[in-house]
Amino acid sequence: MINQIELTLPTFNRGYHIITNIIERELKDLPQNGLVNIFIKHTSAAITINENADPSVTVDFENFMNKLIPDGDNIYTHTMEGPDDMAAHIKSSNIGQSLTIPITNYKLNLGTWQGIYLCEFRNHGGNRKLVITIYY
């Protein structure tokens, strides 16, 4: 069986934000076993899984990606939407738009230190939409 919901996240500032609790609140009555696929419907934001214990990890991600893929680089030709736009597209493609997480014993089977991140690459990205599909 398959169940699917669409979730609109609140607006987040630019950066990396742990959204595990937001997603878990929406996932009521998970099956004993299965899979959850989470897909972000945007080209300038991404989702990933990483450490959820130390908030400095989110700061380091932001600093590293901004150094690796800077806003406003003169090599970009796609510049109509501002200096953060093309860099956001490149970052999004590098991190990715979907996650698949196992369900075990009626809950997401994440590791002890794992959390789901929204990676917001725009200065003013707005609300982001996720499609969450449960397979069981």
Burial 52-78 (b: 16+ CB within 10 A, else e): beeeebbeebbeebeeebebeeeeeee
User: What CATH number corresponds to the domain at position 23?
Assistant: 2.60.120.460
Beta strands in 45-123 (DSSP E): 45-51, 98-104, 107-108, 114-120
Indicate the number of domains in the chain: 1
For residue 75, the enclosing domain spans 2-135
- Write the pLDDT tens digit of every residue in 60-116: 999 999 999 999 999 999 999 999 999 999 999 999 999 999 999 999 999 999 999
Q: Letter for the amino acid at 50?
A: N
pLDDT at 28 over 90: no
| Burial class of residue 110 in the structure, from the number of CB atoms within 10 Å of its CB (0-12 exposed, 13-18 middle, 19+ buried) | middle
- Write the pLDDT tens digit of every residue in 30-69: 999 999 999 999 999 999 999 999 999 999 999 999 999 9
